[in-house]
Structure 1
Amino acid sequence: MNMYETFFGYLNRFDCPPLSDEEKMLFQQAFIPFKLKKRQCLLLAGEQCKNFAFIVKGAMRQYSEDDKGTEHIVRLGVEGWWMGDRESWVSGTPSLYTIDAWEDTEMLLVSRANMLELLRKVPLVSEMMRQLDERNHIANQRRLTSSISATAEKKYTDFAECHPRLLERFPQHIIASYLGITKDTLSRVKRNLLQK
């Protein structure tokens, strides 16, 4: 199955009429196939995010670095997920984040101009954006609440319940950084859960 067929399968999950051949052609013109090897960057902090990526195969992470060089993971992604810095993509400002491939990754890239063109021409795109925005808002709200008030154990169990695929694909230190806890704390939480 090629990258576009995978993407069209993803688009079919949104409750809209099937894409016409003409609409499929518009997507193929707007989205560019791209591959990264493990640890290659899609975006470096300080650059403008010119493209958003739909992950066809592989795993990616988005993170910032503090003054001590410690990475703070803000987003993880696997097949069927989107990756990019939305603020930089929309406003044209330099990104605070680096985005790299955690595994060899195949993706489809879309520029803001091409996405806006698709929004005008293909009704499915506005429905997809609406649903993705809703899900993203809910996920961000939950994550914010969790980071403010949840225990390390609650953060981990909620994450494991919501994102079992991410647990399988990323090592413990990456998961710990995403949850805002240390690797040692995560090890202790997992030990305690096993003893229950």
Structure 2
Amino acid sequence: MIEVFKTYLKEKGSFSDVELKQIESVTTIKKLRKRQYLLQEGDVWKYNAFITKGCVRTYTVDEKGNEHILNFAVENWWTGDRESLFSGKPSVYNIDALEDSQVALITKENFNLLCKEIPAFNNMVTLILEKSFIVSQSRIQSFISSSAEEKYLKFLETFPHLPMRVPQGMIASYLGITAETLSRIRKNALKK
């Protein structure tokens, strides 16, 4: 699965063979079974993680046992807990696999070294962080100003492939609505 990561890197920047070998030398591939944790609440997150296969979710569980999904990540997406990574504090999140998955992991120290030594890698990371910030801002804006139906339609527009891979209850959690509300929205959409 390292080939998937290398293909991604080649699409994102101009890397020499030596640079690709350097990146590969500090990358570990981890296989996850469906429902297996990549990160559990209370653990310190130490990696930058790239999904080479599968689908994972990042979520919290409140005192009533309700899950609140922050995001999903599929092939060619990055995931992790940046706050825990940078602060060294225990994570408040869980990350688990929704299907059998594989993840390329690079420790914080090695990732920083790659950014320092490989300009194309640093440029790629900067662009990813900029895009991630824009997506987060857009999601917050949608969350505070859009109706449940508008949120769902935006979700389908942004992530058309996810409804086939993610249970509807989890999509409802991600959108901050109840499963019943999502079911009603979907029924109304079919009538149109």
TM band (smaller chain)? over 0.9
Q: Calculate the aligned-residue CA RMSD, in Å.
A: 0.9
Q: Structure 1: which 4+ aligned runs deviate by more than 4 Å? A: none
> How big is the shift at 1:52?
2.2
Classify the secondary structure of the residue corresponding to 2:115.
helix
SS at match of 1:22: helix
Shift of 1:148: 0.6
1:186 aligns with 2:163: no
**Percent of residue pairs bearing the same amino acid type:** 45
Distance of 1:173 and 1:99 partners within structure 2: 17
Amino acid at match of 1:103: E
Q: Report what 2:79 is aligned to.
A: 83
1:25 partner amino acid? K
Matches within 5 A, 1:85-124: 85-124=81-120
Match for residue 153 of structure 1 among 145, 149, 152: 149
Q: Any stretches of 5+ residues in structure 2 without a counterpart?
A: none
Q: TM-score, normalised by structure 1?
A: 0.95
User: Matches of residues 36-75 of structure 1 in structure 2 within 5 Å?
Assistant: 36-75=32-71
Give yes or no for the alignment of 1:33 onto 2:32: no
SS, match of residue 75 in structure 1: strand
Q: Could you tell me whether the CA contact under 8 Å between 2:28 and 2:104 is conserved in 1?
A: yes
The two structures have a TM-score, normalised by structure 2, of: 0.97
SS at match of 2:64: coil
Name the CA distance, whole Å, in 1 between partners of 2:76 and 2:161.
Answer: 12
Among candidates 126, 131, 149, match of residue 127 of structure 2: 131
Matched, 1:172 2:172: no
Residues 1-40 of structure 1 aligned to structure 2 (within 5 Å): 3-14=1-12, 16-17=13-14, 19-40=15-36
Alpha-carbon distance between aligned partners in 2 of 1:91 and 1:30, rounded to the nearest angstrom: 22
